[in-house]
Amino acid sequence: MTDIGTPIDWAPGFIANTTPKIVSGRFEFEDSFTIERAMATGAYNGLKAALAKTPAAVHDEVRGATVLGRGGAGFPAGVKWGFMPPDKWPRYLVVNGDESEPGTYKDRLLMERDPHQLIEGCLIACYATGLSQCFLYVRGEMPLAHERIAVALNDAYEARLVGKNILGSNFSVDIVLHWGAGAYVVGEETALIESLEGNRGMPRLKPPFFPAAVGLYGQPTIVNNIETLANLPWILSNGAQAYAEIGSESSPGTRLVAVSGHVKRPGVYEIVNGLTTFRDLIYGDQYCKGIRDDNELKAFVPGGGSAPWFTPEQLDVPFEGREASAEGSMLGSGAVIVMDETTDIPTAALSLTKFYAHESCGKCVPCREGGTWLEKILTRVVKGQGSPRDLELLLEVGATICPGDFPHASSSRLGLEAQPFPYKMTTICFVGPSAFAPIHSALTLFPEEFEAKLTRRDTIPLMSMPVADATGTDESVGAVS
Amino acid sequence: MGYLDGFRVTFNRLFEERVTTEYPQEKRPKPERFHGRHVLNRYEDGMEKCIGCELCAGVCPAQCIYVRGADNPIDDPVSPGERFGYVYEINYLRCIHCDLCVEACPTEAITESKMFEFSFANRQDAIYTKDELVVDDDGKPQRQPWELWHDGDDALTSGWMRATAPSGSAAHVGQVGWSGELGYGVRSPELGQTAPSDDDPDGGQG
Amino acid sequence: MTDLASASEVNETGVNITINGVRVVAPKGELVIDAAERNGVYIPRFCYHPRMEPVGMCRQCLVEVDTGRGPGLQPSCMLTVSDDMTVDTESETTKRAQEGMLEFLLVNHPLDCPVCDKGGECPLQDQTLAFGPGESRFVEEKRHYEKPIPISDLVYLDRERCILCDRCTRFAKDIAGDPLIHFMHRGNETQVLTFPDDPFNSYFSGNTVQICPVGALTARPYRFRARPWDLAEVESTCTTCSVGCRVAVQSSRNELLRYEGVDIESVNHGWLCDKGRFGFESVNSDQRLAGPYLRDVNNSDQLVGTNAALEAAATAIGAGRGGGGVGVIGGARLNNESAYAWSKLARTVIGTDNIDAQLADGLSAQMVLSLPRATIADATSADNVVVIGTDLKEELPVLFLRLKGAAQSGRIKLTELSLLVTGLSKHASASHRYVPGELAHAVGELLASNPQLASGSTVVVIGRPSAADFPDEVEAAVGVLTAGLPLATFLPALRRGNVMGALDMGLSPGVLPGRVSLDEGRDWFGSVWSSLPGEVGLDTAGMLEAAAAGRLDTLVLLGADPLADVPDRDLVERAFAGVGSIVAIDNFVTESVKRANVVLASTAFAEVGGTTTNLEGRVSRLGQMITPPGTARADWMIAAELAWRLGGDLELESLAQIWSEIEAVAPSHAGCTLEVVEAEGAIEGVVVPIPKSPDLAGAPSGPASIRWSAPALAEPPSVDGYSLRLVARRKLYDAATNTQMAPSLANLAEQAQLMVHPGELRRLGVESGTRVNVTSSRTTVVLSLVGDAAMPRGLAVMGLRQPGLAASELIDLRAAITELRIESR
């Protein structure tokens, strides 16, 4: 192992290194997505181990392992499963494969490279919670993932691993594969449920409709992320204890992190949860090997496009949810976007804001109108047509989307204290605040870059935009000839 | 001197400037914000400014204005936009020339001229219809047979007569906040009450 | 101790919450927005509508709520009250959120208020003034779309003004069941649109205009006709059909301009059908009859003064009274007071019992008046609801909405028995078909196979399924129902405006005002009315037959058009030929009025006050908004004048005085005084009879209510394999005068055509759309034959009164069923 960290040709973007492999174990095989390879490398052993226990015991095992949700919120899966009302049937498992957070592409690899691990995870989750119907929602832009899961599902059905009386037990599950139509907001669980029901992918308000109580078709529903479920086979095969031994106490196991941007070796890495720091990830030899051209690091987004930004001051924060929150951001969906000293910060913020404004579903007003308005103001500033008033306006418009203090990292350069995560919001889901997050971070941490772009020093009196220049009028008007 | 003292006043007055005018042969200039009869203005391209919104009728304390809107014909629009003033009538037996209609008008379609000399032989004539109120193709008001006009009186029309500045702010003095007008183009800004009156021949110097 | 006791009492009925520092009690499950409004705190809102499921889209109703975990902004339209909740609608945070949302909403909302029909009554305007920021900070270009696009024949959509509150789309999908408008695109480009080539043709489209919180949806009939501030308004009850929706009638300069639905719990929940909503156009029509005229021997019309016309009418009626008899047809258009006046005129002055408000296309008056009556509230809360015969969506649209809503929510179990698939079929838990002529047998089978109908409360909605079938069939079916379900209550689905009021006032042979039969009421009425006819008179069919046989001298058409409405045109033609003279009292010169010798103009809706009665027996006030055209007069005045000219005196002087006489005379209306009907908060009206208070139980109550016994079950007519059985159904938009005189509605009526199952087309060997010869026992006509898989085999379906050809040409009133032979030409 002289060359630690090996890119794998057939898993584009994935880089294997020496950390423990919980979900990416099978990636090293070129044919990892076939049932033959999967069976040969221990797939469905976790399921077998689960079937040997009672569902409650499996549930306890998962709860004991503290598998934090990998979709963004980081809520423990085992606890989430317990929220369903005990007497309401039927109930469903919905698997959220609508990974579309900017910078995130780990679930795509899991779906494309190891569909059987995912199916096994679904089955274990269903067994633990007593479900018999599972829906697998795959993002519309991922045809290969869709195709591989479809093939894997067919094979699994044929091998009696899915369907009636799985592996001879009296446990039966049907898995329905659903292909989305391509909308970022559908990654939000209630919008995903709406989309699955055949409606427009618009989030529902929670409360009162937490999916665990009122979800798909009005029934109790668990919505889990792909990576969360992919952890389950390993846990059942190796035990919760072994899982908890990897990583920190509060964030056990490993997690996949996708790094993009100005690093020498961008890619997806399986890192040790809770212990690996951003410095390890960006500068570590078995990870990204430093900034391109050995430039200086300017800023990085620690948890997908919607997360507030970190600066080099936060490089030593580990991948641990609470610590990241205290520092003013979140780990989100496991995507790090790195910006070096050559980055034009306002433009970078604009490109992220543009995405969220475009991806607004249009349901609630702050996101639909505010997001686009933010984009328009910022565009003006980036084009060099802004005034100081525009910078204030950006923050004021953002304050209507997210009232109160918005989280940001500390900056000794500017003398800023960190404002911890999370924020308050007037929208239903996180798309609206996400349009504001990059602007707020950029403007708070790099105000001088915005000010440098301002050309108009004056402020426009808003209600009295002159329709004509007073000096250009006809002098003869009003004179009696 | 006795009784001749009484003539002193008379003699003194003989050499003072005469203030009596031979009205109606001669007219004195009207104050800046004089409220006369209304005109319905048009844009420089000839389109009518009135959109039939009835705000003037709604605000009128004498209830002398009757307006009805209608769908603007797409192929031959009367005013810009969807709606135009289809019926517009002002009853001058009721009008108190308070100018609230001018204040209310969102398009500066209705303004008051400085012409007030009209007398009617019947009540029907007192109701000015839209045909009579709207300015002609030169942007000048139409002369009705019962109105007393002198040469140049028709030039004393329109003018910005709104008593309040936009947003009520003194900061807007000197700024033009209105659109061009058939026959007049864009009018010069209102410069407050001490500024020259529109129709003062010597520009208010005298 | 006492404090604790009272607190626990409150807890059983509701929860304690604090709104802006004031402790209030709210019932469990109430939304915060409603609880606040009930306590005088208005929270601004756009998407929230009390009659629809909340969606929480506009975010305008965000208020700061503390449920024990610290204050936070919550949408009050989706949050139910909980104990010890603290709501602050005036905090700095709330205010900033409200201002922010309004600023966002106005970012892309064009400020074309002066040309916008909503300007002046616009929730966005009003709430911006009350809760919004003073100025906008948005200086960029707004969103642009093509200005109003017609999304149906009645409704325009301006997407620039739309604030995407989901009200219209929710209404179309959830309330009306016509999901024809929908959100398209997303984010800032989201817009409401119809599907391509699929306009928003809903019978309820006008409601979306009413609930639109901005001027995005506007109705063609009202477009640019007036501004809110020059509308005068009076509340009234719609008399387009017998549901009796509460409406606000709005006019300007003595012209009706708009009806808006008024939300009353018992009837319409604020909704109206488009026919009712836009029917005001017919009142304004320049075709209205503005004065009387006489038709002389040369068949030329001669305009005369009111006196001369009344004199001529009295002469004609007097001639009939002295000779072969007088018959009065119609009266469902009249208000209760006029109906009473005509009932009294016919019985006491003319001395005839030949009077019928129904045109042989309804149900037996005796049956309708004697069945235990249900209310709409009963029908939307009963365990079982059985709908028999009619297509409520076409005939009583708002009753359809209410039943559909109740069925959708699972409150009622809806069973339907009809000839054809109706609008309600897909919402019913069971929908059965039967064959014309076999209704009673089908009802028997239904009861036998659904024993659960006998358990729990059951409401039966029953109407006339097809004007082509003899009405005895329905009576026999009701006989089976009353025998099988002795506890069931009934909602008679009669269609015409105030037909129930007319029947209550005795506009039916053998029926006296107050649901009393002529024979039983003889003593009671003998003491109040001067005289009563000796024997039970003829109904409309009987009168027409008598006239055809030359046994009737004078026919009075009281707002009736028998040529168009009686389902036997041949009989009406013969009757008109055989009768001595015809006196018509109407709003329009209808086909039948053209044949009258004396024509008197009468008032239409909103031109006279009084009361009306809906199908529940609910008496509610009518409002007068405008004056009638020309010399048109109220019907009761015409009756009083005629009585005087015929040598009698009805002793009726005003609407109020007539009503107090009705209250005193009609047993079913006892206690229903004008004070009760007009009482503060009585916009819901009063259902008669009013249950007697126990202390009055012993008081003399007048004659017993009318009784009815079901006819014997007839054998079903035998099947003729060569013929198709005609179903003459009603459509909402047809050739009826009031529809055709409303320009916006006239073109919505489909042309007459005969619809059959495609299998019948194959049997005949013709293509769909071919014109064929259709022969019944009456005549042969040419119709285009259209195949429709929704039609049962063996039936031929046509509209009773569609433009082009009325089914009444083909129907023999006295035949049990109408059989048609179809031949290619």
pLDDT of B7-29, one tens digit each?
Answer: 888 888 888 888 888 888 888 88
CA-nearest residue of chain B to C113?
B53
Q: Is the pLDDT of residue C698 over 60?
A: no
Do C413 and C436 belong together in one domain? yes
The domain A21-244 is placed in CATH, from the list 3.40.50.11540, 3.30.300.10, 3.90.230.10, 3.20.20.70, at 3.40.50.11540
Percent of chain C with pLDDT over 90: 81
Q: Say which range, C378-387, C450-459, C551-560, C578-587, has the weakest mean pLDDT.
A: C450-459
Min Cα distance C16 → chain A (Å) is 20
Calpha distance C367→C515 (Å, rounded): 11
**Closest partner CB to A368 (pick from C75, C138, C190):** C190
């404090």: which residue's tokens? C3
Q: What is the pLDDT of residue B154?
A: 73
Calpha distance C419→C431 (Å, rounded): 10
Chains touching A (3+ CB pairs < 8 Å): B, C
Q: What is the pLDDT of residue B158?
A: 56
**Which tokens is B171 given?**
């900061």
Min Cα distance C329 → chain A (Å) is 54
Last residue of a domain, one of C81, C104, C127: C104
3-state secondary structure of A444: helix
**Closest partner CB to B188 (pick from A461, A478, A481):** A478
Q: What is the pLDDT of residue C151?
A: 95
Interface membership of C101 toward A (CB under 8 Å): yes
Calpha distance A288→A268 (Å, rounded): 10
Put simply, the answer to whether A371 touches C139 (Cβ < 8 Å) is no
Across C760-765, average pLDDT: 91
CA-nearest residue of chain A to C78?
A208
Do C568 and C462 belong together in one domain? no
Q: What is the pLDDT of residue C699?
A: 54
Calpha distance C236→C509 (Å, rounded): 30
Which domain, by its residues, includes C459? 365-492
Do C479 and C615 belong together in one domain? no
Q: What is the pLDDT of residue C139?
A: 87
Residues from chain B that touch A465, judged by Cβ atoms under 8 A, are: none
pLDDT in tens, A411-433: 999 999 999 988 999 999 999 99
Domain with CATH 3.40.50.11540 in chain A: 21-244
**Closest partner CB to B167 (pick from A464, A469, A472):** A464
Interface membership of B198 toward A (CB under 8 Å): yes
Q: Is the pLDDT of residue B191 over 80?
A: no
Number of structural domains (chain C) is 4
């426009």: which residue's tokens? A460
Across C651-677, average pLDDT: 92
Do C680 and C732 belong together in one domain? no
Calpha distance A274→A252 (Å, rounded): 7
Pinpoint the alpha helices (H) of chain B: 5-14, 55-59, 100-104, 123-126, 130-133
Percent of chain B with pLDDT over 70: 78
Last residue of a domain, one of C104, C126, C159: C104
CA-nearest residue of chain C to B54?
C227
ipTM: 0.90
Q: Residue C10 maps to which CATH number? A: 3.10.20.740
**With contact defined as beta carbons under 8 Å apart, do C336 and C613 qualify?**
yes
Q: Is the pLDDT of residue C146 over 50?
A: yes
Domain with CATH 3.10.20.600 in chain A: 254-340
Q: Is the pLDDT of residue B84 over 60?
A: yes
Across A457-465, average pLDDT: 47
**Which tokens is C730 given?**
């009603």
Whether residue B47 is contained in a domain is answered as yes
Do C785 and C674 belong together in one domain? no
Put simply, the answer to whether C224 touches B81 (Cβ < 8 Å) is no
Q: Residue B102 maps to which CATH number? A: 3.30.70.3270
Q: What is the pLDDT of residue B159?
A: 55
Q: What is the pLDDT of residue B66?
A: 95
pLDDT in tens, A116-174: 999 999 999 999 999 999 999 999 999 999 999 999 999 999 999 999 999 999 999 99
pLDDT in tens, C515-535: 999 988 888 888 889 889 988
Q: What is the pLDDT of residue C273?
A: 97
Calpha distance C513→C528 (Å, rounded): 12
Interface membership of B58 toward A (CB under 8 Å): no
Q: E strands of C622-689, at which residues? A: 686-687
Q: What is the pLDDT of residue A458?
A: 55
Q: Could you tell me the CA-to-CA distances from C51 to B152, C47, C263, C401 in Å, in that order?
A: 64, 11, 9, 12
Counting runs of H as helices and runs of E as strands, what totals does chain B give?
5, 5
Do C486 and C541 belong together in one domain? no
Put simply, the answer to whether B188 touches A468 (Cβ < 8 Å) is no
Interface membership of C57 toward A (CB under 8 Å): yes
Q: What is the pLDDT of residue A465?
A: 40
Across C100-122, average pLDDT: 94
Fold of A254-340: Ubiquitin-like (UB roll) (3.10.20)
Report the alpha-carbon angle C804-C806-C811, nearest 5.
150
Which domain, by its residues, includes B59? 37-154
Q: What is the pLDDT of residue C703?
A: 81
Do C550 and C690 belong together in one domain? yes
Whether residue B12 is contained in a domain is answered as no
For testing contact with chain B, the best of A460, A469, A473 (most B CBs within 10 A): A473
Across C559-574, average pLDDT: 94
CA-nearest residue of chain C to A431?
C187
Check residue A411 and report its DSSP letter.
B
Whether residue C420 is contained in a domain is answered as yes
Check residue C612 and report its DSSP letter.
E
pLDDT band at B177 (very low <50, low <70, confident <90, very high): low
Across C684-690, average pLDDT: 89
pLDDT band at C456 (very low <50, low <70, confident <90, very high): confident
Please, what's the b/e burial string for A38-73 (b: 16 or more CB within 10 A of its CB; e: otherwise)? beebebbbbbebbbeeebeebbebbbbbbbbbbbbb
Interface membership of C232 toward B (CB under 8 Å): no
Number of structural domains (chain B) is 1
Do C521 and C589 belong together in one domain? yes
Last residue of a domain, one of C492, C520, C538: C492
pLDDT in tens, A11-22: 888 888 888 899
**Closest partner CB to C230 (pick from B51, B52, B57):** B57
Q: What is the pLDDT of residue A460?
A: 47
Chains touching B (3+ CB pairs < 8 Å): A, C
Q: Is the pLDDT of residue A476 over 70?
A: no
Put simply, the answer to whether B166 touches A464 (Cβ < 8 Å) is yes
Q: Is the pLDDT of residue A397 over 50?
A: yes
Fold of A345-458: de novo design (two linked rop proteins) (1.20.1440)
**With contact defined as beta carbons under 8 Å apart, do B98 and B88 qualify?**
no
Q: Is the pLDDT of residue B162 over 90?
A: no
pLDDT band at A479 (very low <50, low <70, confident <90, very high): very low
Calpha distance C371→C621 (Å, rounded): 25
Put simply, the answer to whether B81 touches C227 (Cβ < 8 Å) is no
């104990």: which residue's tokens? C83
**Closest partner CB to B83 (pick from C115, C120, C229):** C115
Whether residue B201 is contained in a domain is answered as no
Q: E strands of C762-811, at which residues? A: 770-775, 780-787, 795-799, 801-802, 805-806
For testing contact with chain A, the best of C131, C139, C163, C165 (most A CBs within 10 A): C139
Using CA of residue C561, residue C562, residue C564, residue C570, what is the dihedral sign?
negative
Helix (H) or strand (E) segment spanning residue C398: helix C397-408
Percent of chain A with pLDDT over 70: 93
Q: Is the pLDDT of residue A328 over 70?
A: yes
pTM for the structure as a whole: 0.91
Residues from chain B that touch C112, judged by Cβ atoms under 8 A, are: 81-82
Q: Is the pLDDT of residue B54 over 80?
A: yes
Put simply, the answer to whether C120 touches B58 (Cβ < 8 Å) is yes
Do C404 and C341 belong together in one domain? no
Put simply, the answer to whether C226 touches B68 (Cβ < 8 Å) is yes
Q: Say which range, A170-174, A368-372, A376-380, C682-686, has the weakest mean pLDDT.
A: C682-686
Put simply, the answer to whether B69 touches C147 (Cβ < 8 Å) is no
Whether residue B126 is contained in a domain is answered as yes
Interface membership of C19 toward A (CB under 8 Å): no
pLDDT in tens, C771-820: 999 999 999 999 999 999 999 999 999 999 999 999 999 999 988 889 99
Beta strand C301-303 with C293-295 is antiparallel
Do C355 and C372 belong together in one domain? no
Q: Residue C809 maps to which CATH number? A: 2.40.40.20
Chains touching C (3+ CB pairs < 8 Å): A, B
Domain with CATH 1.20.1440.230 in chain A: 345-458
Whether residue B82 is contained in a domain is answered as yes
